[in-house]
Amino acid sequence: MSGNRFPKGFLWGGATAANQLEGAYREGGKGLNVPDVLPGGKIRHQLISDPHFDLEIKEEVYTYPNQEGIDFYHRYKGDIALFAEMGFKVYRMSIAWSRIFPNGDEETPNEEGLAFYDRVFDELHQYGIEPVVTISHYEMPLHLVKAYGGWRNRELIALFERYAKVVFTRYKSKVKYWITFNEINSGLVMPIYGLGFMVEKEEDKYQATFQAFHHQFVASALAVKACHEIIPGSKVGNMILYVPTYSYDANPENVLFALEEERLLNYFCGDVQVRGEYPSFIKRYFKEHHIQLDIEKGDLEIIREGTVDFIGFSYYMSRTEKKDKSSEQVSEGNIVGGVKNPFLARSDWGWEIDPIGLRISLNQLYDRYQKPLFIVENGFGAYDKVEKDGSIQDDYRIDYIRSHIQAMGEAIEDGVDLMGYTTWGCIDLVSNSTGEMSKRYGFIYVDKHDDGSGTLERKRKKSFFWYKDVIATNGEKL
Ligand code: BG6
């Protein structure tokens, strides 16, 4: 494929989140956040769906891998040097809210936390790497969950706005790309991460979830406005978990079902944040689910005025839907459900591998919004093996990323305005859904294992050298 498909200045890089790699969960004045108290292992997924799971540390029963992460807090210089060696133009990372406001509701920020990110940004700039910073990536201060009930509570808007203004003011000369909430729509499937509460009863689910979204929309819009005022020329994006949804077959019942599922998951949040108003289709959904939003005077105006500059999204897989799933094999790995797609292979975690789905997603998003798109997460979680000579031959990861970059090139030729691409977990880190270390995404191997053992030593995988060439040739050499 020809490299000129990718525009000059295309933002190649990698992505991580504070809670999955920093560790040092009690250092530098940091308060506890949600992932600090989430157990490791496949059991995590089951526990976070249990409304009675209490968010307490029980070391005798569970392990807590996010507490140490991969110790980026102490090793960031070496890690950033490796990112620079690969030629990263950008590095997507997040700020841990509880490093800046340990409980989330203090009047003044924690200077040690602010100083840590100053050091990280300075280190990145030393290599000419531009940070892309997510303000909230599944790492809400635990106190806001316990004492406030998470985003159900309107008070969170003012607390988030204070936090956002503090980081914009502090880093105004160092960060120009910002993202408000990571995978905001994931609150529909994993509320504890993004919305900060467990759904207690099925009948409360709809009201609580959509009221919490409303609070986040207002908070996100206030942050966009503040960022533009405090940092002229800054670019603020939203971030959606995007999963293109196919109908299982040509049965119109299934086509309609897939459309409805897709609108809810993929478009509802984005429509509000990109267009600045609630989409028309949601009215019927609210009515049918007895949802009555408490919208205060001025909220809709704030939402209208605080639309995003670009659309950030994660893409890992597609989803295939059928109205009556009883006779089909459910696709268990896909975090958003669906049935198995017979045309697609799966990762060891059951995530369906679908590069054409990325081209479809890019076209769908651009057709709908006509705003710059930024793929801020994409990657392949796999078991890696360290060979006797110390090398890691991760050809499966190269194949996955290559095919997705090819799909991006096609979409650019289709006319899509794509700003950049940051692969997820550019360095091995703790998995979000399972808390495992063995679900590895990185170009850089980290010697840490599910039981917590390991030296934390870093090693370059085969994909490290491959991605370095991709960036050096602006996507020409794949
Ligand atoms: C996205 C999240 O859902 O997917 C990341 O934004 C996460 O935090 C990534 O790590 C991959 O998911 P997992 O569960 O394999 O870590």
| Interface pTM, i.e. ipTM | 0.99
Give the residue among 173, 138, 123 at the shortest CA–CA distance from 33: 138
State how far the Cα of 199 lies from the Cα of 48, in Å rounded to an integer: 10
Q: From ligand 1's centre to the CA of 112, what distance in Å?
A: 28
Q: What percent of the chain has pLDDT over 70?
A: 98
Q: Which atom of ligand 1 is nearest to the CA of 381?
A: 15
**Kind of pairing between the strands at 458-460 and 444-446:** antiparallel
Quote the ligand 1 centre to 296 CA distance (angstroms): 34
Residue 284 token pair: 């019927």
Nearest Cα to Cα of residue 116 among 134, 94, 90, 136: 94
119-136 mean pLDDT = 98
Q: Is the CB of 403 under 6 A from ligand 1?
A: no
The reported pTM is 0.97
Please tell me the residue having the least CA distance from ligand 1 atom 16: 431
pLDDT digits (tens, 9 = 90+) for 172-194: 999 999 999 999 999 998 899 99
Average pLDDT over residues 196-213: 85
Query: Which atom of ligand 1 sits closest to the CA of residue 182?
Result: 6
Select from 19, 349, 432 the residue to mutate for testing ligand 1; criterion: most ligand atoms less than 8 Å from CB.
432
Residue 143: predicted pLDDT: 98
| Ligand 1: nearest atom to the Cα of 424 | 9
| Total residues found in the chain within this entry | 478
Average predicted confidence (pLDDT) for the chain: 95
433 Cα nearest atom in ligand 1: 14
Q: How far is the CA of 447 from the centre of ligand 1 (A)?
A: 20
| pLDDT of 423 above 60 | yes
Nearest CA residue ID for atom 10, ligand 1: 432
Helix and strand tally (H, E) in the chain? 16, 14
Beta bridge partners of 268: none
In angstroms, the CA 150 to CA 369 distance is 30
**Nearest residue by C-alpha to atom 14 in ligand 1:** 433
On whether the CB atoms of residues 476 and 3 are closer than 8 A, the answer is: yes
Q: Are 361 and 315 in contact (CB under 8 A)?
A: yes
b/e map of 377-395 (b: 16 or more CB within 10 Å)?
A: bbbbbbebeeeeeeebebe
Rounded to the nearest angstrom, the distance between the alpha carbon of 194 and the centre of ligand 1 is 12
Q: What's residue 311's pLDDT?
A: 98
Among candidates 475, 338, 305, 445, which has minimal Cα distance to 382?
445
Residue-level pLDDT at 202? 64
Residue type, 392: I
| Sequence-separated (6 or more) residues with CB below 8 Å from residue 33 | 19, 25, 96, 97, 98, 139, 140, 141, 142
**Range in 223-227, 297-301, 330-334, 444-448 with the lowest mean pLDDT:** 330-334
**Could you tell me if the CB of 134 is within 6 A of ligand 1?**
no
In Å, how far from its chain's centre is CA 133?
11
Burial of 323 (0-12, 13-18, 19+ CB in 10 A): middle
pLDDT band for position 98 (cuts 50, 70, 90):
very high
What is the rounded CA–CA span in Å between residue 168 and residue 121?
13
Mean per-residue pLDDT for 397-425?
Answer: 98
Which two tokens mark 424? 């997820």
* β-pair partners for 446: 458
**Overall average pLDDT of the 5-12 stretch:** 96
The rounded Å distance from CA 316 to ligand 1 centre is 9
Which residues belong to the active site? Answer: 377
Structure token pair of residue 293: 């939003």
Burial status of residue 166 (CB atoms within 10 A of its CB: 0-12, 13-18, 19 or more): middle
pLDDT for residue 203 is more than 70? no
Q: State which amino acid sits at residue 256.
A: L
Compute CA distances 429 → 65, 67, 278, 433, whole Å.
10, 12, 36, 12
Q: Is 214 left (phi over 0), alpha (psi -120 to 50) or beta?
A: alpha
Residues 6+ apart with CB under 8 A from 449: 437, 438
pLDDT over 60 at 142, yes or no: yes
| Ligand 1 midpoint to CA 127 (Å) | 27
Q: Summarize pLDDT for 324-380 with one digit per residue, the tens.
A: 887 777 776 667 878 999 999 999 999 999 999 999 999 999 999 999 999 999 999
* pLDDT for residue 2: 46
pLDDT value of position 1: 45
Counting ligand 1 atoms within 8 A of each CB, the residue from 134, 179, 377 with the most, and so the one to mutate, is 377
Alpha carbons within 13 angstroms on the beta-carbon side of residue 478 total 20
Neighbours of 297 (CB within 10 A): 6
Taking CA atoms only, the protein residue closest to ligand 1 atom 7 is: 432
Q: Which helix (H) or strand (E) holds 458?
A: strand 458-460
CATH number of 3-472: 3.20.20.80
Ligand 1 neighbourhood includes 377 CB (under 6 angstroms): yes
Q: Hey, what amino acid is at 430?
A: V
Structure tokens at 345: 């292979």
φ, ψ (nearest 5 deg) of residue 23 = 70, -145
* Structural contact between residues 354 and 363, judged by C-beta atoms closer than 8 angstroms: no
Q: Is the CB of 424 under 6 A from ligand 1?
A: yes
Q: Can you tell me the mean pLDDT for 414-436? A: 97
3-state secondary structure of 422: strand
Cα–Cα distance measured from residue 85 to residue 77, given in angstroms and rounded to the nearest whole number? 12
**Which residue's CA is the nearest one to ligand 1's atom 12?**
432
Confidence at residue 96, expressed as pLDDT on a 0 to 100 scale: 98
Spatial separation of the C-alpha atoms in residues 215 and 121, rounded to whole Å: 30
Q: Which of 243, 433, 436, when mutated, tests ligand 1's pocket best, judged by the most ligand atoms within 8 Å of its CB? A: 433
Q: Is the CB of 431 under 6 A from ligand 1?
A: yes
Ligand 1 atom closest to residue 439's alpha carbon, by position in its atom list = 15
459 CA to middle of ligand 1, Å?
A: 22
Q: Give the model's pLDDT for residue 333.
A: 66
pLDDT band at 82 (very low <50, low <70, confident <90, very high): very high
As a whole number, mean pLDDT of residues 456-465 equals: 98
Q: What is the mean pLDDT of residues 294-301?
A: 98
Nearest CA to ligand 1 atom 15: 431
Q: Name the residue at shortest CA distance from atom 4 of ligand 1.
A: 432
